[in-house]
Each structure stands twice: as structure tokens, then as C-alpha cells.
Structure 1
């Protein structure tokens, strides 16, 4: 659902003191296809908020400040939207019972290749904590392959806001949200460096 706002409210929401600066920014956003309307009467959808957050991260904005304006659902929608734009069939909040598990986002290609995404709204997280989440995501992805016959190969992925570059932990790519599109586009080139799970086994 879109939300209409005035330039004055935009200044308040964005923390911008100058109306002229705010007008310049809104014109730039509109020129990039983010938002609708004019600089004096703007309308933003949840997808526009995600696109703006991604631009802010790419421009070097503080991740913690950006995270205050995004929810768990925003991360899931962003990941699903990126995968859908690349031709994946996407599902969100995929739940299993016995054992009880949930996958945030699963994108499956026509060839049976899948990305199993865990979206983390981390502000700060230790390496040991990240490792634990990676191990859990491997187990969820293994369960996914046991249940989904149309998936032959899957890569478990952690997508997070608070990171400057992609890194691999426990064989699992931990990808910052601002770089997720590039990662998903080039993932086939990473398969020799990450944990790849097949129906009967897991191999690096």
C-alpha cells in the first residue's frame, strides 16, 4: 500500500532541515522511479522504501540508522523481489512441521536450482552467533530438499543489513542486502566456494 506525504513531512521523516535539499532529493528519487507524484505531494510504497534503503546503503549511509526504517517483512520482500526479477519462482515464510522449521525466502529456478534465504535484521552480531545461524540454515535447506522434489540443488544463504561486503562463514555466503542482487545474479560463479546441498549429500 502506498503512503502519501508532503514535503514538510518528508523533511521530518528523513531528518532533513532544508526544504530545498528535500525537494532536490525527492526529484532525484522520482527520476529513479522511486515514488510517485511530485516533489510537493509524494506517494511511497513498501517497495519504494526498500529501494531507497538500498540506495542509502550503497551510498555509504550508516546501516544501523537505515535498519530503523526497515522491518523483517521488508527484507523478505526485497529478497523475493530480487529473485523474481531474475526468473526464480519465489515463496516466503515456508513452514515445515516434524521438525518445525521456517524458511524466510526460497527461490527456485526452472532447472531445479534453489537459493534458501534466511533474512537477518542484525545491527551487531558476533562471528560465533553468525556461525550458529549458518549451521541452522544448512539444516533447514537440507529439510527443504527432502520435501521438495522439484529442487535438485540448493545453496543456503544468510542475507543481512549490517555488513559491508559478502563473506563466507561455515561455507555459507553471508550477503549484505545492498549486494544481494549482484550475488544472486552471479551465484553460479560462487558454487565452488560455498556449501552446495544436493538431495542426498552436502559438498563444498
Structure 2
């Protein structure tokens, strides 16, 4: 939306539990609201819960986002705590000043930003493949499975007339077998079916 510098907007867009206080206060805002959302997500990844949302989004949650301070466990890394507090600052001006030099924060000392920007960075760890518990022996899955190609019916082949390309599998045209017409119901069959239905009802009455 070209929100740069001192430009601000006032549209209420986003997911409620990730919105910044100034949105709920219906104040014009800038990109500082995105940094607040980033702070909420980092809090969730580090602590395992939302800093303000307690299971039911209502006015209480909105007031907590606007006024309350998040809870921090005592054993939380001080640098990580400082990052979260800076991103969850209630003041958008203070929040914007904090993120202006966020790359120089001690928490990101080991981050090579150039490698990240050029897609050369590797994750600090990779999850190992999980073991699969099964009662039967599994056959190895082939790396390539040839798809089953059914012949195209003659009436369907006419749909491709004039195309500059046709698959080799389409050159062999085999007409599809005509569907078998069901037998017509005779008067005797109708009477017999009606008799059976009546007989079943009589048996239930007994």
C-alpha cells in the first residue's frame, strides 16, 4: 500500500490477535503494526502461547493488547526478552525507533544477513526423519511411477481436432464399449415387487 516514511493508513485489516494497539484505538498507523505482529509470533515461538490472548477473543483481549504487558518466564534469554519487549511496545513511535537498527541487536549477533538475503543461509538444525511403526513389511516405494494412460474414446478425440500437438498415447483410438441398457420392467415384475413389499409389511405387523 506504499506506506513509507510518514505516510499512514487507517484501514482495519488483519487477524485480530496479531493486531497492534493503534489499530484497535482507530488511529492512523504505519508499518510499525507489522513489527508488533512479528513480536507476537516470536513470543508464541519462544514461550508457546499468545502474550495477550487467553482462549476467547472479546473486549478483555482487546484491552489486554492495548494496555497490559506480556508475561515473561524467569528463565527466558534476556536478549530474546529485550527483542520481544521492543516489538510489543505500545507506542508505535518507540517501536519504529527500536526496529531501525534491529539487525545490530545482540540477539542477532550470529546472524549473517547477507547470506539470508542471498538465500545462502542454512538452518541451525534439521529435524531427523521420524520412524514409522507398522505391523507389516513395507515394500520400497519406487522413485518414479508411470501413470496409467487410458485410450481416449473416438468421440472425445474429436475435441482435439486442430491441435498442433497430440500425445503418442492418443494415436491408438479404441472406441469405448456402449453401455448395456437395463432390461425393461414388465408388468409381472412390477406385480411381484409390490407383492414382496406388502408381504414384508404384513410380517412386521405380526
Indicate the TM-score class for this superposition, using the shorter chain for normalisation: under 0.3
The normalised TM-score by structure 2 is: 0.22
Rg comparison, structure with higher value: 2
The normalised TM-score by structure 1 is: 0.22
